[in-house]
Amino acid sequence: MDLHGSFHVYDTTLRDGAQQEGLNLSVADKLAIARQLDGLGVGFIEGGWPGSNPKDTEFFRRAREELDLRHARLAAFGATRRAGVRAADDPLVGALRDSGAGVVTLVAKSHDRHVELALRTTLEENLAMVRDTVTHLREEGQTVFLDAEHFFDGYRANRAYALEVLRTAAEAGAEVVALCDTNGGMLPDWVSDVVHDVIGSTGARVGIHAHNDSGCAVANSLAAVNAGATHVQGCINGYGERTGNADLVTVVANLELKLDRSVLPTGLLREATRIAHAVADVTNVPPASRQPYVGTSAFAHKAGLHASAIKVDPDLYQHMDPVGVGNDMRLLVSDMAGRASIELKGRELGYDLSEDRELVTRVTARVKEMEQGGYTFEAADASFELLLAEEVEGTRPSYVEVESWRVITETRTAGEAISEATVKLRAEGVRYVVTGEGNGPVNALDAALREAIGQAFPEVAKFELIDYKVRILDQGHGTDAITRVLIDTTDGESSWVTVGVGANVIEASWGALVDGLTFGLRRHHR
């Protein structure tokens, strides 16, 4: 890898991103995420701070044995030596040296007040700490990047000293000096002016590390690149403490698709949506539906006016072809839908409705009527497909005939509440009566329904409920309010969402559960 000539895409999800509130990554999680990031084609993956905690030390040990990176180089993060101690004798510097990482990113104070108050040392000693640590690690054969912490605030407080920290690092052999907006308070014009000055005054290769506290992390990163920075840091999905770091996918997509700069290996940007969602699965942080480029709503269209235009030319209401980032255009069916929305959604689901105006009018009217009653189809494609199939084929897809169901909840002697559900239905000509228990009425109904249907259709055993959302629609009615339930079901290969509405949460859940199993069986029996 040409460290001098190539543009650097540097991911810090495993270190800075892991500081997000509620995000706790195991070593196995970090290894899994590193493989995904390598699949995106980033140039550098910052694995953590070896020596500062056992988990990061273990990560680098296992990474040497288990990671086979095709595109990225692993970077270890750490601090300059302590005041008054030689770099060669500092145990944390030794951990960086022994980590096995070919690249070390050193964080150094570039704000004079932080040097004096946080490090409790002199400005001269801080420069010596930078010089000594960079020189030592370079002599040990490692590539060194410098993260100039609080640089923009330090630049405003004492420009001469902030620049001197950068010159010292570059002269000692640091390949890159990354300017950190640690507090996240900068704006694009400010960043651009500072980067111009830094490059003109130091001649160093400059990078940008932006936080999102002002909502400008992506814009600040792009401003820095436009001003001459050739190294950009960020986190996938914008993870990070407080409001997060620059979303690396958004930055890279803007550079490649808007500014025509090739910063990833050819074709790998098309993996962005898949990888962003795969990382979200590992972190257990639900992906943001409105995330630029890779969110499920990023190319979703709801209004009938939009759909009419998209029917003529999709580019009329989209800033790019979603295929470029591995995403898809989605037509949302809702009470705002017009005929064009229904036609396009039908085509997406395999139905050509263009020649049947009466059918389209009927489906449109039915959708609007049902949404008036509390249903939502924009988030429940599976329920809409069942509705559409019913209108097209004349009968609603069904694999069972339900006779009845009931559920009771009782409190036993230990104070534990147990729910029991009984489901009676006919499937494949056989009558089934099944009882199921659960830790709530919906769980008990789910268990009984699956067991009953599963006796006729064994593939139901693969189906798993992975998400469950409840919304009270008319809260002024208190406990007898109309309730809407959305259920997300998977068969291990794909997932689908169904909706149910009822006078109570159990009735609404029953409708969504039956639709979820019906849709899954329909998919498997096509």
Q: What is the pLDDT of residues 61-108, one digit of tens each?
A: 999 989 999 999 999 999 999 999 999 999 999 999 999 999 999 999
pTM attached to this predicted model:
0.70
Measure the CA–CA gap between 236 and 284, rounded to whole angstroms.
14
Residue 376's pLDDT band (boundaries 50, 70, 90)? confident
Residue 295's pLDDT band (boundaries 50, 70, 90)? confident
Beta strand 206-210 with 176-181 is parallel
Report whether pLDDT(235) > 80: yes
- Rounded average pLDDT over 483-487: 89
Report whether pLDDT(357) > 90: no
pLDDT at 384: 86
Measure the CA–CA gap between 245 and 260, rounded to whole angstroms.
23
Contacts of 260 by beta carbon, 8 Å cutoff, 6+ apart = none
Contacts of 103 by beta carbon, 8 Å cutoff, 6+ apart = 44, 73, 74, 75, 76, 142, 143, 144, 145
The DSSP H or E segment spanning 496 is strand 495-502
Report whether pLDDT(475) > 60: no
Measure the CA–CA gap between 298 and 247, rounded to whole angstroms.
15
Residues 399 and 518 sit within 8 Å (Cβ to Cβ): yes
Residue 303's pLDDT band (boundaries 50, 70, 90)? low
197-206 burial code (b ≥16 CB/10 A, e <16): ebbeebebbb
Measure the CA–CA gap between 40 and 131, rounded to whole angstroms.
34
Is 352 exposed, middle or buried (CB count within 10 Å of its CB: 0-12, 13-18, 19+)?
Answer: exposed
Cα of first residue to Cα of last residue in the chain, in angstroms, is: 49
**Tokens linked to 75:** 């970077």
Residue 375's pLDDT band (boundaries 50, 70, 90)? confident
Q: Which region among 57-66, 160-169, 490-499 has the lowest average model confidence (pLDDT)?
A: 490-499
pLDDT at 98: 93
Measure the CA–CA gap between 137 and 80, rounded to whole angstroms.
10
Q: How many CB atoms lie within 10 A of CB 64?
A: 12
Measure the CA–CA gap between 422 and 515, rounded to whole angstroms.
18
Secondary structure letter of residue 118 according to DSSP: I
Report whether pLDDT(4) > 50: no
Residue 406's pLDDT band (boundaries 50, 70, 90)? very high
Percent of the chain whose pLDDT exceeds 90: 60
What is the CA angle 338-339-343, rounded to 5? 125
Residues 96 and 134 sit within 8 Å (Cβ to Cβ): no
pLDDT at 1: 43
